[in-house]
Every structure is written in structure tokens, then in C-alpha cells.
């Protein structure tokens, strides 16, 4: 009898797990349940969709019909799963019972909205689904003043999109810098100044107290001041969506997300739950930088976990998902900013004392025309000399470099290992003979002392 594989969730994790499972066992019956109306889209693309730089059809990779016809995967959209019984191995949805041999939970995350008055007013949005994006785009037509709550990466990407649409944009942030958790103040400051030059206004160290209006938002109050607006977006982070996992009694870790084994299986009271797999924003990861858990919540992480979960759900030879440094990148107002591992702030929060190596160079040889700025910062643990984090701001070519530094971090390289073992390709039109990544690590070695 064909193996029955059920996937709950249709984001990057859910659809990738379904595809990996079907690819691993082509004879399997793979079924996806999702409350969403669209599947397999990139939530990271929504800021550019709102601005109209990319079409909504473009960011939806495939339709449910495509999955059914081309991949042999059945997708039930707008279908809520009511319960899972993992001893009977059944899923109950829309009044019907579906038996499974393997189950993948990929229910993702929910945007966290601070519990403040008025958050449910009209023209107040979050950015998670294509539907959210379309609603914001429609509302933006008649809006001139936009307030964005939260100066994280998504908040800043939205700020640029709305400026490009000619709106008056104010970003309100509780902390004293933009991209507060994952970027250092000096790097974040470059991004903020660049956005200020584009006309984005910032209100820092200002917790949002209320959203005000009569039916629709007309202003936002933060740190005692009122900011008029006719459109407001909460970009205040994502929490794991644990409705089903909690009903199943699965173990939740100290970061408020599911604990998973390297094989991407969840636990119940410390024991692996047979034939159940998890992937995506609802899972906490093992950190590659220090003992303990970390939240990744990146599309790229979700897809990687999904390959493991899907492949294992299909009964292939076991695959494992390793500890993460969680590299990220964004383009904010023409500048690429990227990071991996710990920021200085996170390191300090964990009690890790770091030294900083910094280098400013170019994406080409200094004498070659057209080079763009490339600033690299590398953080090293003062005790072990291990590289524990890095950040890059550049006009171009940040992505491969942050992935390179990520490999060094997950390999446990010290700054000295990096100097002895890392190599960089060189050609005047693409790079400096000593890449700023290497120069930054060299500076870090000096800061750590001989």
C-alpha cells in the first residue's frame, strides 16, 4: 500500500517538505492542508509586491493545481486542521478523518502584535500572506501617511517600498537602533542614515501605546506623542504558530517554539514522537555558535529543514539538519545588509565577550571603476578566539560573502584558523586582492591579541 504522507502548512517549509517527500517516494500519497488561499509563495517578497516591483502572480511559485497535476500532491486550501491524533495516526479536517503513515507539521509563524488598544482598527495590517500584501496595496491607494511599527528588516523594506510609492513614512521602534536584535549599532546606523536621506522618518526608543481612530486608524501614539497616519503596519516579529503542536502536547523550548531532533522530529516529554516531523518557523534550532537554542525563522532555513523532514517522512535513509548560524541578507534603499551568527548585542545578552574586526573596502580593486562600498565586521569570542558572528553592508556582492563567513562559523573556525585556511578569489573587476572579509578577520586577530 502506498505510504500516506500528510503535511500541515503550505509555506516554504510545507510545500518543500511535500515535494521532497514525493520525490523521495514517488508512489506515496502526499496531501497538504492549509488555511491559506495561496501556497508556496515567498513572504519575503511581499514588500516588493506592495510597491508593484514584482507582480503577485510572480511570487506565488506554483498554484495548488500545479502541485496536483505536475507533482501528484493533493492540496486542500482554506482548510483548517481541527486535530491530530498521533497514536491513531489520523488528522481531522473539515469534518473528515485522514489517516497518515508520516505527518509533517509546518504551520509556520504568526505576526506578533503587541497587546495595545486599537490594534484591530481598519487599515491596520500585518505582512505575512499574499492576501495581506494585496489588502495593503489596495488600502495604500488612498493613504498618504504610513506608520510602520518595528524597525526590523521587514519594517525597513516596507518603509522603502512606501517611500518609492511617494508616501510620508514614519517608522516607530521601541529600541534605540534599527534592526535591533541581529545588527550592531554602527552597521544599523549606516542603514538608518541612508533611509533618512530618502525621507523616511524614525521615532526611536518609543514603545507603541495605542492605535487611534474611529473605525479606521487616524494616528498612532508612541512614548507620549501622537503620529497621524491613514495606514499602519505592524512589523513586530513572528512567533511560532503552536495551536496544533500544543494540542498534541509536543515539547516547547525556552524560546517559545518546538524542540526538534536533528532528524526534524518533535518530542513529547523528552521522547521522540514516532512518524511526526516538523519544519519551519514553528521550530527552534540548535545554535552553531554556542550551546543552546536559537530562533532562525528564515525562509532558507525552513526550506533546508523541509528537505530533511520530507525526505525522512518518505522513509529515505535518514538525513539530519545541523546547528545554524542563520545568515540573512536584505536590500534596504539600495544598500545590501547581511549578517550571520551573533550580533554584538546578542553576544552580550548571552554573556559572551567579543572583540570586533572591521574592514572597509570595495567590491572591486580600488583602481577599477565601478566598485561599490563593502564594509565587513567580524566578531570573535575573546576567550576561544572563535568567530561567532559577522555583518556586511555593501553596494553589491554581500550574499556569497556572508555564506562564506557562515561556513567558517559552523566549522568552528577561530580567527587564526580563518587567516591560515580561508582563501579569496581575486580579479580587479570583481574583488580586492585581500578581500575585506579577510582584512576584517585580520583586524580581529589583532584585536584579540597575539
Smallest gap, in angstroms, from Cβ of residue 371 to a copy of itself? Answer: 11
Smallest gap, in angstroms, from Cβ of residue 256 to a copy of itself? Answer: 22
Directed axis angle between helix 153-164 and helix 185-197, to 10°?
A: 10
Give the separation between CA 272 and CA 249, rounded to whole angstroms: 12
| C-beta closer to a copy of itself: residue 96 or 421 | 421
| Nearest CA-CA partner of 9 in 194, 384, 217, 279 | 279
The tally of CA atoms less than 13 A away on the side-chain side of residue 215 is 0
Helix or strand holding residue 330 (H, E): strand 328-332
Give the separation between CA 366 and CA 387, rounded to whole angstroms: 27
| Nearest CA-CA partner of 93 in 82, 77, 106 | 82
Tell me if residue 24 falls in helix, strand or coil: helix
Q: Which three cell numbers stand for residue 257?
A: 517554539
Smallest gap, in angstroms, from Cβ of residue 299 to a copy of itself? Answer: 5
| C-beta closer to a copy of itself: residue 232 or 332 | 332
Q: Which member of 44, 229, 285, 445 is catalytic? A: 44
Smallest gap, in angstroms, from Cβ of residue 140 to a copy of itself? Answer: 19
Q: Strand 96-99 relative to strand 271-272: parallel, antiparallel, unpaired?
A: unpaired
| C-beta closer to a copy of itself: residue 111 or 302 | 302
Active site residue 44: yes
Plot region of 200 (φ>0 → left; ψ -120 to 50 → alpha; else → beta): beta
| C-beta closer to a copy of itself: residue 168 or 403 | 403
Smallest gap, in angstroms, from Cβ of residue 300 to a copy of itself? Answer: 4
| C-beta closer to a copy of itself: residue 229 or 392 | 392
**Residue numbers annotated as active site:** 44
Amino acid at each position: 500500500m502506498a505510504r500516506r504522507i500528510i503535511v500541515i502548512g503550505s509555506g516554504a517549509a510545507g510545500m518543500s517538505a511535500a515535494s521532497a517527500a514525493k520525490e523521495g517516494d514517488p508512489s506515496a500519497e502526499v496531501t497538504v492542508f492549509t488555511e491559506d488561499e495561496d501556497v508556496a509563495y515567498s513572504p519575503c517578497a511581499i514588500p516588493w509586491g506592495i510597491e508593484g516591483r514584482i507582480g503577485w502572480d510572480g511570487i506565488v511559485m506554483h498554484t495548488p493545481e500545479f502541485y496536483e497535476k505536475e507533482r501528484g500532491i493533493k492540496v486542500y486550501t482554506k482548510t483548517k486542521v481541527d486535530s491530530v491524533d498521533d497514536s491513531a495516526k489520523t488528522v481531522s479536517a473539515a469534518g473528515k478523518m485522514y489517516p497518515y503513515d508520516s505527518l509533517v507539521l509546518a504551520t509556520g509563524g504568526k505576526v506578533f502584535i503587541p497587546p495595545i488598544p486599537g490594534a484591530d482598527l481598519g487599515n491596520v495590517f500585518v505582512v505575512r500572506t499574499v492576501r495581506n500584501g494585496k489588502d495593503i496595496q489596495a488600502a495604500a491607494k488612498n493613504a498618504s501617511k504610513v506608520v510602520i511599527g518595528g524597525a526590523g528588516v521587514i519594517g525597513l523594506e516596507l518603509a522603502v517600498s512606501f517611500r518609492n510609492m511617494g508616501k510620508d513614512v514614519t517608522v516607530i521602534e521601541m529600541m534605540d537602533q534599527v534592526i535591533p536584535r541581529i545588527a550592531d549599532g554602527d552597521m544599523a546606523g549606516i542603514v538608518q542614515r541612508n533611509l533618512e536621506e530618502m525621507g523616511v522618518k524614525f521615532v526611536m526608543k518609543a514603545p507603541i501605546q495605542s492605535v487611534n481612530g474611529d473605525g479606521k486608524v487616524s494616528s498612532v501614539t508612541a512614548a507620549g506623542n501622537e503620529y497621524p497616519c491613514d495606514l499602519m503596519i505592524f512589523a513586530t516579529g513572528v512567533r511560532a504558530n503552536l495551536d496544533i503542536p500544543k494540542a498534541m502536547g509536543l515539547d516547547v523550548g525556552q524560546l517559545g517554539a518546538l524542540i526538534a531532533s536533528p532528524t526534524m522530529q518533535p518530542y513529547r516529554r523528552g521522547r521522540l514522537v514516532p512518524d511526526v516531523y516538523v519544519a519551519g518557523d514553528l521550530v527552534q534550532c540548535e545554535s552553531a555558535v554556542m550551546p543552546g537554542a536559537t530562533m532562525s525563522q528564515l525562509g532558507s532555513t525552513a526550506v533546508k529543514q523541509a528537505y530533511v523532514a520530507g525526505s525522512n517522512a518518505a522513509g529515505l535513509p535518514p538525513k539530519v539538519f545541523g546547528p545554524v548560524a542563520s545568515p540573512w541578507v536584505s536590500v534596504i534603499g539600495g544598500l545590501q545588509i547581511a549578517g550571520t551568527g551573533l550580533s554584538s548585542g546578542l553576544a552580550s545578552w548571552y554573556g559572551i565577550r567579543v572583540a570586533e574586526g572591521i574592514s572597509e573596502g570595495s567590491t572591486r580593486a580600488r583602481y577599477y571603476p565601478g566598485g561599490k562600498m563593502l564594509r565587513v565586521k567580524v566578531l570573535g569570542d575573546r576567550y576561544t578566539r572563535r568567530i561567532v558572528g559577522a555583518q556586511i553592508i555593501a553596494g553589491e556582492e554581500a550574499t556569497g560573502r556572508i555564506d562564506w563567513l557562515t561556513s567558517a562559523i559552523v566549522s568552528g573556525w577561530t580567527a587564526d584558523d580563518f587567516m591560515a585556511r580561508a582563501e579569496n578569489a581575486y580579479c580587479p573587476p570583481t574583488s580586492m586582492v585581500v578581500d575585506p572579509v579577510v582584512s576584517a578577520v585580520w583586524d580581529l586577530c589583532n584585536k584579540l591579541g597575539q
